[in-house]
Structure 1
Amino acid sequence: MHPVKSPKKLIEVALPLDDINAAAAREKSIRHGHPSTLHLWWARRPLAAARAVLFAQLVNDPGYQRELGYGVNKQEAEIKREKLFQIIRDLVQWENTNNEEVLGRAREAIRESWRETCHLNRHHPQAAELFNPDQLPAFHDPFAGGGAIPLEAQRLGLESYASDLNPVAVMINKAMIEIPPRFAGQRPVGPEPEGEKQQSFEQDWPGATGLAEDVRRYGYWMREEAFKRIGHLYPKVKITPEMVAERPDLKAYLGEELTVIAWLWARTVKSPNPAFSHVDVPLVSSFVLSSKKGKEAYVQPVVDGDRYVFGIRVGTLPDDAKQGTKLGRGANFNCLFSNTPIQPKYIYEQAQAGNLGQRLMAIVAEGKSGRVYLSPDIRHEDTANQAQPEWKPTALMPENPRWFSPPMYGMKSYGDLFTPRQLVALTTFSDLVQEAREKAIADYRAANPNPSTRRGVGLDEGSLDPDDMPLAQGGSGATAYGDAVAVYLGLANDKLSDYNSTLVAWSPTRDQLKTTFGRQALPMVWDFSETNLFASAAGDIEVSVRGIIRALNNVPCGSFSKVIQFDAQTQEISQGKVVSTDPPYYDNIGYADLSDFFYVWMRRSLRRIYPDLFGTMAVPKEQELVATPYRHGSKEKAETFFMKGMTQAIHKLATQAHPAFPVTIYYAFKQSETKEGSTTSTGWVTFLEAVIQAGFSIDGTWPMRTEREVRTIGLGTNALASSIVLVCRKRLPNAGTISRRDFQRQLREEMPEALETMIGGETGQTPIAPVDLAQAAIGPGMAIYSRHEAVLNQDGSPMGVHDALILINRAITDYLSPDSGNFDADTQFCAGWFDQYGWNTGPFGEADTLARAKGTSVDGVREANVIESGGGKVSLLKWGEYAADWDPLTDKRTPIWEACHQMIRRLQQDGETAAGLLLARMPEKGEPIRQLAYHLYTLCERKKWAEEARSYNELIASWSAIVAASHDVGHVGTQAGLEF
C-alpha cells in the first residue's frame, strides 16, 4: 500500500486544555438555545469540547514543517501553535457558537491545513479520491448518541454523517443536522396566532428560523386544540371564604380562580397494623412544599380516628415535615396511625398485588407573587379519576433494579408510569402531531402554488411529484415540510412526557416540578407531582416548543448532513471520512432500556413519517454495546460481549477512516474509576487494549473535564476528567516488535520534548494544568508503545498495557523530577527535603547527608535564603516568608527553588502583572520554574497536601498571563524607579 504523508495534527501534540475544560464546565449551566433542549440524551458531550477536539484533529501542528525539513525552528512553531490555540480559545466560548468571524477563521485554518496535506500527497495513487484540495473530507460519528460531535463537525464546515443503532438517537440527530439544512431560508407558511402582530412577508428567514417559526405556530395550534378536547381535565381552583377562614394568608385571593400549576399526590398502601388494615396510609418522603425563606409551606396530616386529611400550613417548617412518613432509605415507611414500621417486603407484596394507590396531598396554584399551596379538593381528585385513556404503552421495562425501580412495585410497563390523565394528555398531543402535519402540508401548498417550478433535476418521467416526496425519502417539498414540522412537534411531546409521569418529584427549594430523568435511571418516586399542561409553566407544550425553537434557531444549516440507523459493528459509512466518536462505556448507562421511555411516545407521533425507523415495538437491544449482565446472563458474558463488539466496531474505524487524520474516541469515566487525579481502573486498561487490538496506535490521551470551575482543583474529591479523548492512528502494517529495553530507551528519548510541548514553550502558550498533566502525558508514551506490533519482555512474552502504563508514568516522573539534571544542586536538595518533611523541621544530620548527596551543603543552601538552620534543626521557608525586596539581578545565589517560590509570592500578593515583571528580570529561569511547579504539584497531590498544591497549580494556571506580562515590560524592569 502506498504510504500517506500525514502531518501530525495539533491534537497529537498540544492543546489549550484548561481553556477547553473551563468552557465545557461553563456550558453545563447554559440552557437557552442549547441543542440539548431539543431532546434529552444521557451523557451528552459538551459542544465546546467537541468543537475544540474536531478543530485540533483537522489542523496540522506547525511543528510538522520542522520535521519535514522546512526550516521552521522550534520557537517559530510555538508561535504558530499559539495562534491556533487562540482560535480554539475563541471557538469554545458559548457566545461564539455562531460567530461567523470566529468560525470563518477556524474554517480557513482547516482548509489551509487540508491544502498542505493534499500538496504533500499530490503524487499518491488515490490523490483524486482522497486528496482533493477543493473539497474537505466528510465526517462520520458511528455512535452519534446526542449528536454533539456531528453537529460541531457540520458547524466547522464538513459534510456530517451520523449513525446510531438507537432510533431515538437517530431522530435527535436528524432534528439537529439533517433536517434544518434542507429547509434553510424557508419562509413560515402556518397561520399566525390570533392577536399577534403579523410578520412581514418580505422578512428574511435565515437558517432554520422560518422552520422554527412554523414549529411555534403549529405548536400554538396544537395547544389550543388540545385544550378544547381535554381542558376540562385541568380545572382551576376557586378561593372560597371557608378556605380564607382556615388560611388568612389567602385573603388577597378571595373569590378568584387560580390556575393550578401541579397536583401533588402521595402513594398509599394498606396499613400493616391489623387495627388499621382497612386504611390506605400515605407513603411520603417529605411533607415540605416550599423551603424558600419567607415562603415556607408544608403538608400537615390531621388524623381523626381511622381517617385523616391533608392540611396546608405556612411558616416555620417543623422537623418532622422534612421526614414525611419515611424511615431511612429505600421503601421504609411509618404508619401514620399506629407508628408501625412498614417494611420494604410488605410494600413489595402489596404493590405486586396491585394494591398501591394514590391520594391527592396538595394543590399548587399560581399566585400574584409566586406559588400558592392549597389543601386538596375532592372535586379535583374526582376530575383526575374521570380520565379514561384509550391507549397506553405496553412495552415492558427490564427487570433490572440498578436502573429501573418501578417494576419491583408492580409497575411493569412504561404505560404504568403515567396517571390516566397523563395518558389522555400525551395521547391527545401525539395524535395532534399528525393533524398539525396535515395542516402544514396544506398550508405549504397554498403558499407555494407552483410545484412544477421546483421539480428536482434528474427525476424520471412518472416519478413522484416533489411535493409528494416524504422527508424520509429525501423530499424537500410540501409533504417533507409537513413531516419536518411534525418531527419537532413530536420531540416537544417527548419533552412533555419527561414532565408528565408519576416519577416526577416536586422541588421545595425551587418551587417547581423536577423531571422524570433527574439521573440516568428510573427510580421510584413516592410522593409525585402531576403538572397542568396548560399552565404556561414547565410541562406545558408551549414551554417545550419554546425550548425547541431556541435550539433550532441556533443550529448550523450550511453543510449537507445525513443520519442513518446502523450498527457500529457492521457499518461502512466511515470509509474515507474524518471520525470522532463517543461510544458507550461498558455498563455506565443503559441507553436502549432508558430511551424506551421516549420511544413509545415518539413511535406513536412519528411512525407514519419514519416507518422503517419505528418498525419495532421497542428500541433494538440485542446488539447494543453495553455490558448488561441481566441481558447476557452473567457479568463475565456481558464483559466478553462488550469487548468483542467494541473491538469489532473500533476495527471498522481503523480500516475505514481517512488516512490523513487521526481518529478521536471519547472514553467516559465513572466516579469510582478516578483516584487522586489519575485513572486506575481495569476498564481503562481493557479499553486501551481493545483499541490497540483493533489496529490503532494511540497518540494522545486528553482529559476533558466538565465538572470544575476554571483554575480550581478538586483535591480530596474527584479531580479527574469526566472523559478522556483518545487520539488514534492506524498502526502501520510493517510495525515490528521491540524489546522492553528499547521501549524504555525510546521513552527517555522522546518523552521530554513531548512533555515540554504540553507544559508550554517559551512563547507562553497555555500549559496543561498540573491536575491534567499525568493523564495527558500518557498519550505520547502510549504512542511509542502502540506503534509497534508488540513490546516484548525479557522472556519473550508481550508486554500488556498495564505494565506499559507503569513505565510511561515512571518516565513522566523522571522528567519532572529535580534529579533529572535540569536543576541546580540547591533545588535538588530542597525538593528532596520537601518530599520528606514538607514545611516541617528535620534533623541537621539528615539535611547534611542529603545536601552532600546532591552536591551542595546546608550552609550553601542557607546562604540562598531558602532554609532556616539552627539548634540542630533545618526547615524550608514558605513562600510567604521570602524577602519582599528580592531582585534576581542582585542575588548572588539564586536556585530555581528560590525563583519559583518568589514567583508564587509575587503572584499571590501582587497579581499576574507583577509576577510577569519579576519573570522579565530572569527569563532564562522561566522553563525550570514551571517544570519545578509541575513536579511539586504532583508531589503534593500524591501526599494529599491540598493547600500546598493549590499555589503551584495557580502558578501554572496563570503562566500564560505572566509570560505575556513579562513580554510587555521587556527590559523595562531594569529601568530606575521600578520596585522589586
Structure 2
Amino acid sequence: MLGFFAAMTARPRLKLIEHSLPLEAINAASSREKSVRHGHPSTLHLWWARRPLAACRAVIFAQLVDDPSAWKEKFPTAEDQAKERRRLHKVIEEMVEWPKSNAKDQMRFERAIVAARYEIARSVAWGLDEEPPTGPEAVIEYLQEKGPPVYDPFCGGGSIPLEAQRLGLRAYGSDLNPVAVLITKALIEFPPKFAGLSPVHPEAKKERSLTGHQWEGGAGLAEDVRRYGEWMRDQAEKQIGHLYPRATLLDGSKATVIAWLWARTVASPDPAQKGAHVPLAASFALSSKVAEETIIVPVKDATAEDGWRFTVKSTDVTKAELQIAASGTKGAGKGSNFVCLLSGATISGNYIKAEGKAGRMGARLMAVVAERTRSRVYITPTEAEEFAAKVLRPIVPELEQATPERLTGGTCFAYGLTTYDKLFTSRQLTALTTFSDLVGETREKVLADAMGAHAFANHPDPDLPLADGGTGAAAYADVVATYLAFIVDRMVDRHSSLTRWDPNPTGFAPKIANTFSRQALPMVWDFAEGNPFSSSSGNLLDAADWVAKVIDRSIQSGWGLARAIDAPKNSYPVRPTVISTDPPYYDNIGYADLSDFFYVWLRRSLKDVHKDLFRRLVTPKNEELVATSYRHDGKEGAEKHFMDGMGEALAAMRKASADAPLAIYYAFKQSEVRDDGVLSPGWAAFLQAVVNSGLQVDGTWPIRTELSNRMIASGTNALASSVVLVCRTRPEDARVIGVRDFQRELKPVMKQAIEDHQKAGVPLPDRRQAAIGPGIGIFSKYAWVREIDDSKMSVARALALINREIDEALSEGTEALDPETRFALEWYEINGYKLVEKGAGTAISQLMSFNLTEGRMNSSGLFRSRGGDAKLLTRGEMQETDPRWSPSRDGSFTVWEMAQHMARVFHAEEGGVDDAGRILAESRRSGPDVLLVAERLFEIATNKGDNDEALAWNQLQTAWPEIERAADRAEEAGIGSAPVQAQFDFPALP
C-alpha cells in the first residue's frame, strides 16, 4: 500500500477523473437506479439524499485508474491515448448499470466488476513498476494488500464505502451520525464476517426444500433474518394480534384489514357548535382508479357523536364528487386552513396549533380498508372498530425526546406533536414497542441456536460480542439482532400518524405511503394506520424480506470498517488514503433532526448491542456541519460554523490523502448559479472552504441523479443534482497572481473547456457546471488572487468572473448562423414571445443591423410585424402558420424554424423523439446549429426566469443523442435520401 502512494508522491500521475468521464452513461444509470427496488442496498434502511451507487462506483474507479496520458511510453500518441480512454470509458459504461434479478444480468454485472477491478490493479501495479495480477481472486488479493484504501468521512447511507468494497478495495467510512454509521456497518462490515455460513435457525435445516442447499455468500445470514423475523412476527401476533380485528363485509364474511383511515379533529371554533369536534381532512378520496372510484362522505347526523359521521361511497361516484372529495375539509388559501363541517366557519391554522399544543386534538375513524383477492374493499367504520384502537397507551422513555421544532420541508412540532411518542397512535405505539422488545428476545434465541450450530462449533471465543471484534455465536446473534432492528425501523416508517393513504400510486394499488415521502416531518391530517399482520403495505414479513434480500446480494469479500467520528476531528485510522466523500450541503438537510425518528427506536432495540453508538439520548446536533441559523446565533454564526468546520474537515482530508486526487460531492442545484444576480451562499461557501483548506480544484463533474419524470413534474431545469469536485493538494510554494493576470489566463481556458465539453456531448446545464472546474482550478492553484485594491479575492468573486467567461463562451458561435435566427435570438432575449405594441419601428431598426427587411421577416414564418405591433411567434403559432412545415418543404428554412419545430414535436403527446429525429434526418448538416440555438435559448430563458421555456430546451438538448439515433433510423427508412413530403402530410385545412 505504501508503495502505491510513494510512487504517486515521486511522480503524481494524472487520473482518468482529471481528464474525462462518460457522463451520459453514468447519469442515465444513476437516474434509472432510483427506481430499483428489491435487493438494492438503498432498501436496507432509509437514508436521505443517498448518492446513487452507479455514480459512486464510476467516480471511485476514475479516481484510481490512470489516464492514458500518464503513460506516454505505453500510449505515445494522442490517438493512442484517446483510443485507450474510450476503452476505459467502456469499462465504466459496462459496470454502472445495476443488474436485474435474473442470473444472466447478474453474471454480466459481475464480469463488468471483475474487469473494473483489473483496471484498478493494473494502475497500481504500473505505479509500482511491476506486472499486474491475473485472475479474479488474485486481483482482489492484490488490491487488498497493495491497493489504496478508500475513505469516506461523511459516509451517510454507505454508498461510497460499499462501492469501494465492491471494486475490491479496503473500504472505510465514518460519520458523526450513529444511524449512518450503523447502516454503513450493516452494508460493509457484517456480511463479509459471516459469508458462506449456513443458517442457524432449526427450521431452515429441517425443511426438505432446502436440503442440500449451498449457502453461498450472504444467503445463510439472509435466511436467518427471514426466519427469525417470521418468528418475531408470530410472537407479536400472539401478544397483540387481538388489537387488529378482522372486518365484517356486507355479505357477512370476514376480511383482513389493510388500514384504518383516520382524520384528526379539533373543537369547532364556532360557539354555536358547543365544542363539537370536527374533522381536519386534506382529502376524502380513497381510490381514483377508473371503475374503482371510492370516496368518504361526511354526513350530518344528530344521533352520532358530535352530530356527524362518515360513510363510504364506492358506486356511481361521479368525477365531480371525486374532485370535491379530493379537497377534504381544506379551506381556501395555503397552509393549514380548514372549514367546519357543521357550520362552514373557517378553522385557522393558528387555532389548530393552539388546540394541538393544549392536547385537545383528537381523531375519528373515516374508513376501513380490507383486502380481498386481487382487490381492496372500503368499508364504512363501526363504533366497535374505532373502539378497538383505543388501547392503553404504553410509556416509552426512549421516545420522550423532542421532535424538531424547526425543519426544512416542514415539521409537526407546532401542532402539539412535540415528542416522538406523540407521532404514533396508542395501537401503533403498542405494536412497535412489542416488536422492539422482541428484538432482544429473538437475539437470545439466535444465540442459543448458534451455540449449537455446526458453523460455530469450534470457534475459539463464541461469547465475544460483535462490538469487541467477535466473530462467533454471540457476534452472529448481535448481527441478526441489528438487521431485525432495521426491520422494526421499516415498520416505524410505515406505522406512524404521519403516514397517509395514497389513493392512486403510479403502477400500484392504493396503499399506505411511508412517513418520509419527503425529507421532513410535516403534519398529516388524514392518516393511515396499517395492519402489521396483513399481507399488504407495511406488514412485518415484507419488511423482513426487504432486509433479507439486501443481505442475500451483499458483498462477501474485502475489508470494511465504519466508525462514529466527527469529520473535523478525524485523525484517520488508516493513511494515506483515497478520499471520496459526500459531505453535508450548507443549509440543505438536517440529517440529525431527521434521523432521530429512527435513532430513538434503534436505541431502544440495540443499546446493549452497540453501546458506543447509542450512548446518547438523541443524535449529536450542534457539531453537525449544517449552517442552521437557530443553532448558531443567526445567519453569520451559522455560516462561520459551517466554514470553520468544513475547512477543518477538508484540511484533515488533504493531510490524509497524500497526492491522490480527492473526489468531493456537492448537491448543486441550478437555482444556485445565481440568486438575483449574486451567487448563492451554499455553493460559494463550500468552494471557499475547499480553497481555504489548501486544496486545488482540478475539475467539476456534474452527476445527474434525478429521474426525468421528477424533473418534469417539479418544473425545474436542473438536471444535475450533484457536482463532483476533483481536488489535489495545492503546492506549498504556490504564488500570488493579480486579478488581470487571472482574467487573462481564465479566458482561453474557459473557451477551450466549453468546446471540449460540447464535443463530448455534455448537455448545456451540465456543461456550465463542468466548466466551473477548470475556472476555479486556475483560481485555486494560486496562493491567492490579488484584487486591484490589494485585497484577497473571494471565491464568490472568482465564480462571478468565471460565470461571465462561461456566458461569453456559450454565446460564441452564433455569428455564423443565418441572420433570421440571429435576429430571433436577440429579439427573444429582449422581448420573449410577448406582443410588443408599437414595436414595429424598433424591429425595423434591429432588422437593419442584420441586413434584413420587415417583409423578409414577415415571410419567414417566425416573426410578425403588423399594424405597428411586433411579435416573435411561439412554436404553436408557427405551426398554425404552416401546419405542414418540414425542412424539405421549406426551400429556405432557417435554423430557428428547425429548432422550434423539433422542440414542438419532441414535446408533443405522441411522436416525441421519433418525430424530432425525422426532422433532423432531413437536414443533418443543420444539427450542430440547431443544438447551438437550443443551448443559447436555454441560457436566455434561464436568465429571464422563464422556467417552462428553459425546461423545454434543456430536455431537447439532453435528449439529443436519442434524437440522433432516431434520425439514423429515419434515414434507414429512406427519410432524408428521398422525397419526404408524405412523412409530414397533414390533412388539408378547411
Q: TM tier, shorter chain?
A: 0.7 to 0.9
1:575 aligns with 2:580: no
- Between the two structures, name the one with larger relative contact order (CA 8 Å, sep ≥ 6): 1
SS in 1 for 2:308: strand
Spell out the pairing of 1:274-293 with structure 2 (5 A cutoff): 274-293=271-290
State the match for 2:638 in structure 1. Answer: 638
SS in 1 for 2:471: coil
Relative to the length of structure 1, the TM-score reads 0.83
Please tell me the residue identity of whatever aligns with 2:724: V
Aligned counterpart for 1:8 among listed residues 9, 14, 18: 14
The offset of 1:736, in angstroms, is 0.6
State the match for 1:485 in structure 2. Answer: 480
Q: What CA distance in whole angstroms lies between the structure 1 residues aligned with 2:846 and 2:409?
A: 57
For the Cα contact (< 8 Å) 1:913–1:962, is it kept in 2? no
1:332 aligns with 2:367: no
SS in 2 for 1:385: coil
For the Cα contact (< 8 Å) 1:14–1:758, is it kept in 2? no
State the match for 2:493 in structure 1. Answer: 498
Please tell me the residue identity of whatever aligns with 1:626: V
Residue-by-residue CA offset, 1:408-467 (whole Å, 9 max, x unaligned): 233321111112211221111111111221121222222227743x43xxxxxxxxx2x1
The offset of 1:50, in angstroms, is 1.6
Spell out the pairing of 1:513-912 with structure 2 (5 A cutoff): 513-573=512-572, 575-660=575-660, 662-669=661-668, 673=672, 680-709=679-708, 717-760=716-759, 766-818=760-812, 827=817, 832-837=822-827, 849-850=849-850, 884=888
For the Cα contact (< 8 Å) 1:933–1:956, is it kept in 2? no
1:177 aligns with 2:185: no
State the match for 2:175 in structure 1. Answer: 164
Q: What CA distance in whole angstroms lies between the structure 1 residues aligned with 2:12 and 2:928?
A: 31
Instruction: Classify 1:729/1:207 alpha carbon distance in 2 versus 1 (closer, same or farther; 3 Å).
Output: same
Q: What CA distance in whole angstroms lies between the structure 1 residues aligned with 2:591 and 2:737?
A: 41
SS in 2 for 1:691: helix
1:62 aligns with 2:44: no
For the Cα contact (< 8 Å) 2:262–2:363, is it kept in 1? yes
Query: What do you get for the CA RMSD once the two structures are aligned?
Result: 4.4
Instruction: Classify 1:642/1:120 alpha carbon distance in 2 versus 1 (closer, same or farther; 3 Å).
Output: farther
The offset of 1:261, in angstroms, is 1.0
The offset of 1:731, in angstroms, is 0.8
State the match for 1:362 in structure 2. Answer: 367
The offset of 1:359, in angstroms, is 2.4
1:256 aligns with 2:260: no
Q: What CA distance in whole angstroms lies between the structure 1 residues aligned with 2:955 and 2:80?
A: 27
Point out where structure 1 has 5 or more consecutive residues left out of the alignment.
123-130, 240-249, 456-464, 761-765, 852-856
State the match for 2:984 in structure 1. Answer: none
SS in 1 for 2:296: strand
Q: What CA distance in whole angstroms lies between the structure 2 residues aligned with 1:324 and 1:710?
A: 27
SS in 2 for 1:192: helix
Instruction: Classify 1:160/1:77 alpha carbon distance in 2 versus 1 (closer, same or farther; 3 Å).
Output: same
The offset of 1:570, in angstroms, is 0.5
For the Cα contact (< 8 Å) 1:5–1:120, is it kept in 2? no
State the match for 1:236 in structure 2. Answer: 246
Q: What CA distance in whole angstroms lies between the structure 2 residues aligned with 1:930 and 1:274?
A: 66
For the Cα contact (< 8 Å) 1:33–1:547, is it kept in 2? yes
Aligned counterpart for 1:113 among listed residues 99, 102, 123: 123
Point out where structure 2 has 5 or more consecutive residues left out of the alignment.
1-5, 133-141, 834-839, 907-912, 982-990
> Which has the larger displacement, 633-642 or 732-741?
633-642
Q: What CA distance in whole angstroms lies between the structure 1 residues aligned with 2:77 and 2:266?
A: 77
> Which has the larger displacement, 693-702 or 836-845?
836-845
For the Cα contact (< 8 Å) 2:717–2:947, is it kept in 1? no
Please tell me the residue identity of whatever aligns with 1:488: Y
The offset of 1:685, in angstroms, is 1.2
SS in 1 for 2:301: strand
Q: What CA distance in whole angstroms lies between the structure 2 residues aligned with 1:47 and 1:101?
A: 17
The offset of 1:738, in angstroms, is 1.4
Instruction: Classify 1:183/1:678 alpha carbon distance in 2 versus 1 (closer, same or farther; 3 Å).
Output: farther
The offset of 1:566, in angstroms, is 0.7
1:89 aligns with 2:93: yes
For the Cα contact (< 8 Å) 1:141–1:149, is it kept in 2? yes
Aligned counterpart for 1:211 among listed residues 204, 221, 224: 221
Residue-by-residue CA offset, 1:584-628 (whole Å, 9 max, x unaligned): 112222211221111111111111111111111111222111222
State the match for 1:244 in structure 2. Answer: none
Residue-by-residue CA offset, 1:210-269 (whole Å, 9 max, x unaligned): 111110011111111111111111111223xxxxxxxxxx3xxx2311111111222222
1:441 aligns with 2:447: yes
Instruction: Classify 1:381/1:964 alpha carbon distance in 2 versus 1 (closer, same or farther; 3 Å).
Output: closer
Please tell me the residue identity of whatever aligns with 1:652: A
The offset of 1:519, in angstroms, is 1.5
For the Cα contact (< 8 Å) 1:739–1:794, is it kept in 2? yes
Spell out the pairing of 1:370-449 with structure 2 (5 A cutoff): 370-389=375-394, 391-392=396-397, 393-400=399-406, 402=408, 405-448=411-454
The offset of 1:388, in angstroms, is 4.5
Instruction: Classify 1:790/1:390 alpha carbon distance in 2 versus 1 (closer, same or farther; 3 Å).
Output: closer
The offset of 1:671, in angstroms, is 7.5
Please tell me the residue identity of whatever aligns with 2:81: A
SS in 2 for 1:399: coil
Please tell me the residue identity of whatever aligns with 1:173: T
Q: What CA distance in whole angstroms lies between the structure 2 residues aligned with 1:169 and 1:12?
A: 30
Please tell me the residue identity of whatever aligns with 1:773: R
Residue-by-residue CA offset, 1:716-769 (whole Å, 9 max, x unaligned): 733342222211111111111112232223224434444343233xxxxx5211
Please tell me the residue identity of whatever aligns with 2:298: Q
Residue-by-residue CA offset, 1:370-392 (whole Å, 9 max, x unaligned): 22111222222222223442535
Please tell me the residue identity of whatever aligns with 1:34: H
SS in 2 for 1:659: coil
Q: What CA distance in whole angstroms lies between the structure 2 residues aligned with 1:356 and 1:712?
A: 37
Q: What CA distance in whole angstroms lies between the structure 2 residues aligned with 1:73 and 1:937?
A: 38
Q: What CA distance in whole angstroms lies between the structure 1 residues aligned with 2:144 and 2:894?
A: 53
Q: What CA distance in whole angstroms lies between the structure 2 residues aligned with 1:710 and 1:18?
A: 17
1:309 aligns with 2:283: no
Q: What CA distance in whole angstroms lies between the structure 2 residues aligned with 1:710 and 1:576?
A: 42
For the Cα contact (< 8 Å) 1:844–1:874, is it kept in 2? no
Pairs aligned (count): 915
For the Cα contact (< 8 Å) 2:281–2:328, is it kept in 1? yes
For the Cα contact (< 8 Å) 2:716–2:947, is it kept in 1? no
Instruction: Classify 1:671/1:810 alpha carbon distance in 2 versus 1 (closer, same or farther; 3 Å).
Output: closer
State the match for 2:988 in structure 1. Answer: none
Aligned counterpart for 1:101 among listed residues 107, 111, 134: 111
Please tell me the residue identity of whatever aligns with 1:423: L
Spell out the pairing of 1:145-164 with structure 2 (5 A cutoff): 145-164=156-175
**Could you tell me the percent identity over the aligned residues?**
42
Instruction: Classify 1:598/1:906 alpha carbon distance in 2 versus 1 (closer, same or farther; 3 Å).
Output: closer
The offset of 1:336, in angstroms, is 2.7
Q: What CA distance in whole angstroms lies between the structure 1 residues aligned with 2:816 and 2:94?
A: 42
SS in 2 for 1:31: coil
State the match for 1:143 in structure 2. Answer: 154
Instruction: Classify 1:914/1:82 alpha carbon distance in 2 versus 1 (closer, same or farther; 3 Å).
Output: farther
Q: What CA distance in whole angstroms lies between the structure 1 residues aligned with 2:203 and 2:531?
A: 25
For the Cα contact (< 8 Å) 1:281–1:336, is it kept in 2? yes
For the Cα contact (< 8 Å) 2:629–2:637, is it kept in 1? yes
Please tell me the residue identity of whatever aligns with 2:501: W
The offset of 1:651, in angstroms, is 1.3
Instruction: Classify 1:507/1:132 alpha carbon distance in 2 versus 1 (closer, same or farther; 3 Å).
Output: closer
Please tell me the residue identity of whatever aligns with 1:495: R
Q: What CA distance in whole angstroms lies between the structure 2 residues aligned with 1:591 and 1:143?
A: 12
Instruction: Classify 1:812/1:119 alpha carbon distance in 2 versus 1 (closer, same or farther; 3 Å).
Output: farther
Please tell me the residue identity of whatever aligns with 2:795: V
